[in-house]
Structure 1
């Protein structure tokens, strides 16, 4: 009876997805106005497109963060599995654009199909992967059902599940539990994630660590950020350059709070010499928000310089005394971290769960976090315990803490060293994950 009810729930879910499909397509076309990639290869959203050679390892990395996490895993797979071929799928334009750089001869890249019964069956039948790897939280009921029917083992890797997400999944238990149960293996980031994933129905579950600790920053980008820093003017009457506070991977809904808190903090400073005021560097999470954030900054009366308008690799003379820089470029995050003295963690001041703080630590950039870091709960806790990050109650307090830290050379040096130690101490997940994936594949061959 239970299996019958699960089948009925899955069928009803499929009908709901079919009803939502026109709205999803309209959303892709709407987003294509700013990000044209959304308007291309729409047939792949229904499982069409040229097939990969049978036997590829299919890795699904939905967006930018997951695609970057896939990079060290792909490197480890190629080291331990030299003849591996990849089928790389994504759900967002930034994910697909970033993933294109990871491909080698014989690899292919596609959109993940919508979670429709026909589209998912068509996708699995057309590409015939030897093994599927879904990164982090991408549990799609129809997709996993189609893979199970075709005999394709699927692993959920770098898996995480917050208490909030577990509570949501339990509300849809008859839909999501069978999907979790169909996974051949789940590789959790932390023991706490593993416990919650078991509660959601996943079996078996192993703890492998977080792939993002193995993602090393590009030395060329770190050097670029240091060159930008060297270009900043010296503080009048001093021997050090102007300090930089970075609003890292900033989220919609936090912009006005940030600009208001920043202005209030500047006005509270005892010195009125504006040349001594720190530079605020804002890097929005989503590229489609670059222009919107620029307009918000200009409406506050602050002088703005945009990275996208720099003609050369160095900031122009007019940018050096601006109040705010806008990091409106892609794939330069390590350069921004290398430029900054300290960073505010985006997504942690509104109840959005926080962004990846591991990249900042790998670049040696100390962080100030807000109260909402449930998406990276253990990493945030460990970073705070090991001195790589501080916790603030709200954005006003965070701005004051960041500003104070930016002016303390001793504290900056100690926290930068703690960041690098924290980052290096938790590496190794990529090789462990690659070994586990190879074992699943070998068990079927």
Structure 2
């Protein structure tokens, strides 16, 4: 345990003063669908479940991608006889985890980083080990965990060059935060180097857990039904799209549809609450649209299908020969291409893929994906690929082989965490 520098004390004071306003903020977020109304207390550190007896590991990830990447770790820890608490901060991740957590694991929303909320949370759950994913560096949470003497490991850690430069402006604070972490397991050597330069005392490289995450599941009967429904139609999927990319998808459809009779464009937005808005965009482009959330199917009369339902990307990836992964033409950082690659799709992406730069670089290098700079090139590339089934199949095989070759992060992470598990076992005895 180390003393709190002035920067951390100032942060703690500021967040403490924010506490009285948190209820109002949470209620406003609930009205916008960003909080679960019946579970708002969890965001104030008020548990909605009792703590089970025995040893407990707490795993935290910000949202869907981070928590799903930790599922293999959750399963391994639960198999070792630990109770596993998984926290996240978004409604979407909570709903997915409710369906996918194994026996022995359960979900709560992470408390806001207000000192009283964090203490209340830790008083109740009293974890024996804490694993935090990627870059969730909440100062009050990490300091409080450290001061209670709980081992803290940053897993699947990443630190982009942009975040590194930003944190350098707050050097004393980030060093004080990172110094509280027992072990940082970085995704890449570059991430490890940046974390070490910012002050993390023990840093190793374990790889990216997302490569070991099982692909999203899908009911085989639904896959069969959808495959039959779209059989013979040229189709592509625009996945995890952000505002602005749906207009691009609609414009691309209009541009290439004359060359591909029966063309079907499936758009799966990153935020499913935008389904109505996206259907209206299709109407603006005079496309016949249907929304899955309204119980409609992509029958022969549908040109633009809005897949605005929770947890069904695995279904659409399984029928798609080619997937454009969003937040890469409009937006910033890109979304995860590993899932469609594992499920047999060729990958297209825009230039803004900083969040998954190494993954996309490997896919591009091995021929499993293509970078496209703008809407015109997306249309041109789809024209070539949809007219060349052999090339599509080569790309899909290359994408799958690339992501398979990067596996092993779960084994390396579990090996690094093993000393902490052994210590817990000895203390239990």
**Same fold (TM > 0.5):** yes
Q: In 2 relative to 1, CA 102–409 (structure 1 residues): closer, same or farther, beyond 3 Å?
A: closer
Among 225, 235, 239, the alignment partner of 1:248 is 239
Among 373, 379, 389, the alignment partner of 2:353 is 373
- 1:31-430 matches, within 5 Å, as 31-33=29-31, 35=33, 38-49=36-47, 50-53=49-52, 55-79=55-79, 81=80, 83-103=81-101, 106-217=104-215, 220-221=218-219, 224-225=222-223, 227-232=225-230, 241-263=232-254, 265-266=255-256, 271=259, 276-310=261-295, 315=297, 319-430=299-410
Paired residue secondary structure (1:134): strand
How far did residue 35 of structure 1 move?
Answer: 3.3
CA deviations 1:299-328 (Å, max 9, x no partner) are: 2221101122336xxx36xx3232201111
How far did residue 19 of structure 1 move?
Answer: 4.5
Paired residue secondary structure (2:31): coil
TM-score, scaled relative to structure 1: 0.88
Aligned to 1:236: none
CA deviations 1:8-31 (Å, max 9, x no partner) are: 211221233245456654443234
How far did residue 294 of structure 1 move?
Answer: 1.8
CA deviations 1:387-438 (Å, max 9, x no partner) are: 1111112232123212321221110111111122112212221222122223
Structure 1 range deviating more: 361-370 or 12-21? 12-21
Tell me, yes or no, if the aligned pair for 1:278 and 1:403 is still in contact at 8 Å: no
Alignment RMSD (CA, Å)? 2.4
Q: Could you tell me which runs of 5 or more consecutive residues in structure 1 were left unpaired when the two chains were aligned.
A: 234-240
Partners of 2:20 and 2:221 lie apart in 1 by 46
CA deviations 1:176-217 (Å, max 9, x no partner) are: 221111111111111122122212222211111111111222
Among 1, 9, 12, the alignment partner of 2:10 is 12
How far did residue 37 of structure 1 move?
Answer: 5.1
How far did residue 90 of structure 1 move?
Answer: 1.2
Q: In 2 relative to 1, CA 211–221 (structure 1 residues): closer, same or farther, beyond 3 Å?
A: farther
Tell me, yes or no, if the aligned pair for 1:343 and 1:368 is still in contact at 8 Å: yes
Higher relative contact order, chain-length normalized (CA < 8 Å, sep 6+): 1
Q: What is the number of equivalent residue pairs in this alignment?
A: 422
Tell me, yes or no, if the aligned pair for 1:57 and 1:130 is still in contact at 8 Å: yes
Partners of 2:31 and 2:199 lie apart in 1 by 40
Paired residue secondary structure (2:311): coil
How far did residue 223 of structure 1 move?
Answer: 6.5
Partners of 1:118 and 1:38 lie apart in 2 by 21
Q: In 2 relative to 1, CA 222–26 (structure 1 residues): closer, same or farther, beyond 3 Å?
A: farther
Partners of 1:334 and 1:78 lie apart in 2 by 25
Partners of 1:161 and 1:381 lie apart in 2 by 17
Q: In 2 relative to 1, CA 417–23 (structure 1 residues): closer, same or farther, beyond 3 Å?
A: farther
How far did residue 103 of structure 1 move?
Answer: 4.1
Q: Could you tell me which runs of 5 or more consecutive residues in structure 2 were left unpaired when the two chains were aligned.
A: none
Tell me, yes or no, if the aligned pair for 1:226 and 1:338 is still in contact at 8 Å: no
Tell me, yes or no, if the aligned pair for 1:29 and 1:38 is still in contact at 8 Å: no
Tell me, yes or no, if the aligned pair for 2:291 and 2:308 is still in contact at 8 Å: yes
